[in-house]
Chains A and B, each alone.
Chain A
Amino acid sequence: MWPETNAFFAHLLAGSTSGVGCGKMSSSRSLETTSQPDRHGHFGRYGGMFMPETLMAAQFELIEKYEQTKNDPAFKAELDALLHDYVGRPTPLYFAERWTQQLGGARIYLKREDLLHTGAHKINNALGQILLAKRIGKKRIIAETGAGQHGVATATVCARFGMECVIYMGKVDMERQALNVARMRFLGAEVRSVTAGQMTLKEAVNEALRDWVTNVDTTHYILGSALGAHPFPMMVRDFHRVIGVEARRQVLEKDGRLPDHLVACVGGGSNSIGLFHPFLEDEAVAMTGVEAGGYGIAPEQHAARFQGGRLGVLQGAKTWLLANDDGQINLTHSVSAGLDYPAVGPEHAYLHEKGRVRYTFATDDEALAAFQELSKTEGIIPALESSHALAEVKKLAPSMGKDAILICNLSGRGDKDVAQAARYVFGEELKF
């Protein structure tokens, strides 16, 4: 009925063989099929299930139900219909003509996830997981949020399905994303302020995990990024693969060929893995993930895990993270709450090791400049998270030929960031 979303499932099925030990198969030819975790969620030496014993049964239940459900035609039909009618898929692949002219290089396409209901890609996953939770029989939903986009998406689907919803959010993030806090409350969610540690996304994940440990019998935890213990990194990715599946089809329709380069920002890494994954086997397609460079690459001034990070285990997964020599997790900084997190999703660590995706960073200043530039050039106010990807487009596009094609995932819209950006750019505190 809707070819785009049906295509989502075709790819989901194609990439669904779990139990393949990807660490043993390193041929880049079959990276898409081998970039699948083994039965405990290992992408090579990354990922896994490093959870307290109390939660292991819930993780295994989730793995089992997800494997059963993802291929169930009734589930697929329900998700497809809601993605189309409620969420607004497919999103356009928009040719940014004026920005392309201004940068004077590659043809720039923006994948318009910012146009989705609730304003960011996060709802693809929130919707998929709540349908799964309904099937498992969980009545209560919890989630963490950084920028508030995943919290809003989760509160939205909870309202839509009449489920109790508790969102954990760091106190600092609640202040810098006050608009999203109000949205969540209007949607009927309870927003719990987290005051531990740095009071941002990492602490919100800790609190959500503690809630889940305590209420696991009744509660499903909708983790918002391709992070944490198995099956979350795989499942969240699968629900976002629709981004790349659509983009691939759309660029083939428009230009008759595959793009030369994909760019997306990487916090936990959900929007980027969603765009990248369906292209992994297309060797000619280069990919760049953009982390938050904050004030610059110095200890505790940024959130770029592949710059000055190390291998470790945090919140369920073995991956690259920012920690000191004693294994204590470092403070992080980014102007963008959604990227302000010390660990990267384990599949990104794997793709980094394989050299399939290049990872770089954009500083706060570069992101804010791109934020303003896209607003003025294309009439699109981007999220500060997505602005990190746009900052990389500014660096890449001019060096590419005019026939080259670059797709940037515009993962969210900037409405939520207006007060924060005004503070930085105009030095003004907005009063609502």
Chain B
Amino acid sequence: MAETSNRIEIAFSRLKTEGRKAFVAYIAAGDPSLDQTVEIVAALERSGVDIVELGVPFSDPVADGIVNQLAADRALKAGATTRGVIETIKAIRERSQIPIVLFTYLNPIYAYGYEQFHRDAHQAGADGILVLDLPPDEAAENAELKPVAGLNHIQLIAPTTPEDRIPSIAAKAEGFIYYVSRLGVTGARGDIPQGISEQVDRIKQHSEVPVCVGFGISSPEQAAQVAAKADGVVVGSAIVKLIEQHGSDADLPSRVEAFVKPLVHGAKGA
């Protein structure tokens, strides 16, 4: 890989050298508060997480399940805004260089202003953005969402994505591709869907960037199974649920650390 200053790209190139899988953790920024988000990210880093996805809260997150929706509601009620999340990245950057992806919907970015959002997010220290309701087909909107050097646009591929659609998505991919391993919204599930390795192989035929698999992973065993088939795993709702349960506990960050560490070990086979 060419010289890069993007933390996501640096992380994957290091993991490749080490022969290890990536662990991506999602949390809703601002739940229970933006101050706590800084602490939770530090705890995730201590747990061995490689990349953090920060959910920028939106009132109508249609691609998310109830756990993430309630987290976004709590964040909004606690006063989180798009600008507040960007300020929080600055606070995180004072003590950490962990790669950060902003995970959100189009309307908050649209309201903020596409260019301004990119500039501010990048300057604050974000490394990537993933917009759940902006498919590549929306050419005009995608053209306006001009990439800023150093800020990856993460692309998403689903089990329902037709074969002939994969190349066009893969061609735009930066940082990593997020393969949604099952139909449905975000949320923990008991089982692991079939056919993940086939799908990952199919995607890899069209793209150089790593493929991470998520949606529904909640145990170290599941993390290990999925990690064996991909370049990394994404765990979200299970962590968000823990934060929901212990949001008001003084030891929330250490609880997060204790919960995530075994998941990371599962994924990394350690």
Q: Residues of A with Cβ closer than 8 Å to B?
A: 40, 42, 45, 48-58, 60, 196-197, 202, 206, 209-210, 213-217, 310-316, 318, 323-329
Contacts and interface: CB of A to CB of B under 8 A. Distances in A.
A43 to B, nearest CB: 13
Q: Which 8 A-B pairs have the closest CB atoms?
A: A327-B111, A327-B108, A214-B184, A52-B63, A54-B158, A327-B107, A57-B160, A328-B59
16 contacts: A52-B132, A53-B160, A54-B63, A54-B180, A54-B183, A60-B162, A210-B65, A210-B184, A213-B63, A213-B184, A311-B110, A312-B107, A325-B111, A326-B112, A327-B109, A327-B111
Given A202-B60, A328-B59, 5 more contacts: A52-B63, A56-B137, A60-B162, A197-B59, A327-B109
Contacts of A49: 135, 137-138
Contacts of B69: 196
B165 interface: yes
A36 B222 CA distance: 48
Contacts of B107: 312-314, 323, 327, 329
A56 B135 contact: yes
Contacts of B109: 327
Interface string B57-91: 11110110110010001001000011100000000
B157 interface: yes
B82 A210 contact: no
A346 to B, nearest CB: 13
A234 B141 CA distance: 20
**A interface: dominant SS:** mixed
Interface residues of B, number: 44
Nearest to B106: A313
A103 to B, nearest CB: 41
Contacts of B66: 196
B108 A51 contact: no
Contact of B133 (A40, A310, A311, A313): A313
B111 A326 contact: yes
B183 A216 contact: yes
Contact of A40 (B137, B156, B160, B161): B137
A209 B107 CA distance: 17
B61 to A, nearest CB: 8
B228 interface: no
Contacts of A325: 111
A406 B137 CA distance: 42
A326 B81 contact: yes
A4 to B, nearest CB: 37
B134 interface: yes
A324 B137 CA distance: 27
Contacts of B110: 311-313, 327
B117 to A, nearest CB: 10
A213 B184 CA distance: 5
A53 B173 CA distance: 14
A58 to B, nearest CB: 7
Interface centre among A216, A217, A311, A314 (most CB of B within 10 A): A314
B138 A53 contact: no
Interface string B179-191: 0100111000000
A213 B133 CA distance: 13
Contact of A328 (B58, B106, B132, B134): B58
B162 to A, nearest CB: 6
Contacts of B63: 52, 54, 213
Interface centre among A54, A209, A214 (most CB of B within 10 A): A54
B75 to A, nearest CB: 11
B97 to A, nearest CB: 28
Interface string B149-169: 000000011111110010001
A311 B141 CA distance: 13
B138 A217 contact: no
Nearest to B82: A326
A313 B144 CA distance: 14
Contacts of B169: 53
A210 B186 CA distance: 10
Contacts of A312: 107, 110-111
A428 to B, nearest CB: 35
B168 to A, nearest CB: 11
Contacts of A48: 138, 141
A327 B62 contact: no
A340 to B, nearest CB: 15
Interface centre among B69, B157, B184 (most CB of A within 10 A): B184
A49 B106 CA distance: 12
A38 B20 CA distance: 46
Nearest to B134: A50
A3 B77 CA distance: 57
Given A40-B138, A312-B110, A206 B133 contact: no
B106 A53 contact: no
A207 to B, nearest CB: 9
B210 to A, nearest CB: 18
Contacts of B180: 53-54
A51 B135 contact: yes
Interface in B188-221: none
Nearest to B72: A328
B171 to A, nearest CB: 15
Given A213-B185, A313-B107, A58 B160 contact: yes
A50 B138 contact: yes
A315 B60 contact: yes
Nearest to A209: B62
Contact of B183 (A40, A209, A215): A215
B156 A53 contact: yes
B161 A57 contact: yes
Contacts of A213: 62-63, 183-185
